[in-house]
């Protein structure tokens, strides 16, 4: 209880930028985001990384917690929370001296270059993993820095919990119905799950790009949800926006490997593309290249999804011949 009071008091006194007499909510939103990682059981180690998962949660909370000219700059609270005494930055290998001399952060690129992760005081880490203590600390942050939109922030936290529940059930392949009340929550759970199991990397070209809080990776269904009602990880694949579009237009699709090998799928390109045309070469170079697999083979593309995509490719090839 003494530790809870100590950190509740510390969170009442965050060193926040001020504008027009009010304190900006950035640090509070970052701490709420970290608490949701703990709620989702994603902080089994005292290690908070500045990754797409954290940024997506931050991006869900910030629009309802912000006011007026507040800008979404998650790198700032991640870095400057070190000044509040309980948030500790750990340098990447070879960058310890650079980090120790860094007083101001210019952007997420510099942060990613120098900082490996943040950790919390051990007592605070244990508190945010405890449901009751975590809820109390969340309440302190919301009342102190987001009181103007407290109901909306609590709603986002509840929606995040629903999204995580659905995502975890999908990953565990639990049977039965576990639908969320809104299509947005269902699709968000699917998108996050697929991006995570493919390590936010395109399964076609392998691109993995980050700039500020922007990346290029979509989560695509092999058999569209409107037809299959199937959000299983095996019915999904992570693709950059170019290759997502090419797959949906049936120009380049995943299918079985040589010898009808569904365990090791490859990319199949529309047979009427011609390498004598310069504009076709960028797509043809992926023909017969392997589909980059997810981080766990049990989530690899399902046979029925690969067959569905191959059927669509054959249909458009036949129609254009």
pLDDT by residue for the chain (321 residues), tens only, comes to: 699 999 999 999 999 988 777 899 999 999 999 999 998 888 999 999 999 889 999 999 999 999 888 999 999 999 999 999 999 999 999 999 989 998 999 888 899 999 999 999 999 999 999 999 999 999 999 999 999 999 999 999 999 888 888 888 888 876 554 445 578 888 999 999 999 999 999 999 999 887 766 788 999 999 999 999 999 999 999 999 999 999 999 999 999 999 999 999 999 999 999 999 998 999 999 999 999 999 999 999 999 999 999 999 999 999 887
Outline where the chain has alpha helix (H): 2-12, 26-39, 52-65, 75-80, 96-100, 108-114, 122-128, 131-145, 150-172, 183-197, 225-228, 241-248, 278-284, 303-320
Scan for tokens 């009340």, then name that residue: 181
- Please tell me whether residues 10 and 126 are part of one structural domain: yes
User: Does a structural domain hold residue 187?
Assistant: no
- Please tell me whether residues 204 and 147 are part of one structural domain: no
User: Does a structural domain hold residue 47?
Assistant: yes
Q: What is the pLDDT of residue 183?
A: 81
- Please tell me whether residues 20 and 140 are part of one structural domain: yes
Q: Which two tokens stand for residue 55?
A: 């940024």
- Please tell me whether residues 27 and 110 are part of one structural domain: yes
Q: Taking the mean position of all CA atoms in its chain, how far away is CA 6?
A: 32
- Please tell me whether residues 11 and 49 are part of one structural domain: yes
Q: Which two tokens stand for residue 285?
A: 């170079």
End position of a domain, from candidates 126, 152, 168: 168
Q: What is the pLDDT of residue 231?
A: 94
User: Does a structural domain hold residue 179?
Assistant: no
- Please tell me whether residues 204 and 271 are part of one structural domain: yes
Positive or negative, the CA dihedral 147, 148, 149, 153 is: negative
Q: What is the pLDDT of residue 175?
A: 54
User: Does a structural domain hold residue 127?
Assistant: yes
- Please tell me whether residues 247 and 209 are part of one structural domain: yes
Q: Which two tokens stand for residue 74?
A: 């998650």
Scan for tokens 């950190």, then name that residue: 7
Closest to 308 (Cα-Cα) out of 243, 245, 262, 274: 262
- Please tell me whether residues 52 and 158 are part of one structural domain: yes
- Please tell me whether residues 128 and 221 are part of one structural domain: no
Scan for tokens 């997506």, then name that residue: 56
Residue-number span of the structural domain to which 109 is assigned: 2-168
First and final CA of the chain: distance in angstroms? 74
End position of a domain, from candidates 121, 153, 168: 168
User: Is residue 169 exposed (0-12), middle (13-18) or buried (19+ Cβ within 10 Å)?
Assistant: middle
Q: Which two tokens stand for residue 280?
A: 């076709």
- Please tell me whether residues 113 and 262 are part of one structural domain: no
Looking at the structure of the chain, the number of domains it has is 2
Using only C-alpha atoms, the chain has a radius of gyration, in whole angstroms, of 23
Q: What is the pLDDT of residue 68?
A: 80
């Amino acid at each position: 209880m003494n530790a809870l009071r100590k950190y509740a008091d510390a969170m009442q006194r965050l060193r926040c930028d001020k504008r027009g007499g009010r304190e900006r909510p950035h640090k509070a939103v970052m701490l709420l985001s970290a608490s949701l990682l703990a709620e989702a059981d994603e902080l089994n180690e005292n290690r908070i990384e500045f990754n797409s998962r954290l940024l997506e949660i931050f991006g869900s909370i910030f629009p309802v917690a912000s006011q007026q000219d507040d800008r979404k700059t998650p790198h700032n609270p991640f870095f400057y929370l070190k000044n509040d005494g309980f948030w500790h930055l750990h340098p990447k290998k070879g960058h310890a001296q650079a980090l120790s001399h860094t007083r101001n952060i210019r952007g997420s690129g510099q942060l990613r270059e120098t900082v490996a992760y943040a950790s919390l005081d051990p007592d605070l880490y244990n508190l945010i993993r405890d449901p009751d203590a975590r809820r109390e600390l969340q309440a302190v942050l919301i009342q102190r820095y987001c009181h103007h939109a407290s109901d909306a922030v609590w709603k986002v936290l509840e929606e995040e919990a629903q999204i995580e529940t659905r995502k975890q059930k999908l990953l565990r392949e639990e049977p039965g119905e576990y639908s969320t009340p809104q299509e947005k929550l269902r699709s968000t759970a699917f998108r996050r799950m697929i991006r995570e199991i493919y390590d936010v990397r395109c399964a076609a070209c392998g691109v993995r790009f980050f700039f500020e809080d922007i990346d290029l990776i979509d989560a695509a269904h092999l058999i569209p949800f409107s037809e299959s009602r199937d959000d299983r990880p095996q019915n999904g694949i992570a693709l950059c926006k170019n290759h997502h579009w090419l797959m949906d237009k049936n120009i380049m699709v995943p299918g079985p490997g040589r010898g009808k090998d569904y365990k090791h799928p490859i990319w199949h390109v529309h047979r009427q593309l011609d390498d004598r045309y310069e504009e076709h070469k960028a797509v043809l170079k992926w023909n017969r290249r392997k589909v980059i697999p997810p981080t766990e083979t049990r989530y690899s593309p399902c046979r029925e999804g690969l067959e569905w995509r191959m059927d669509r490719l054959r249909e458009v090839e036949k129609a254009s011949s």
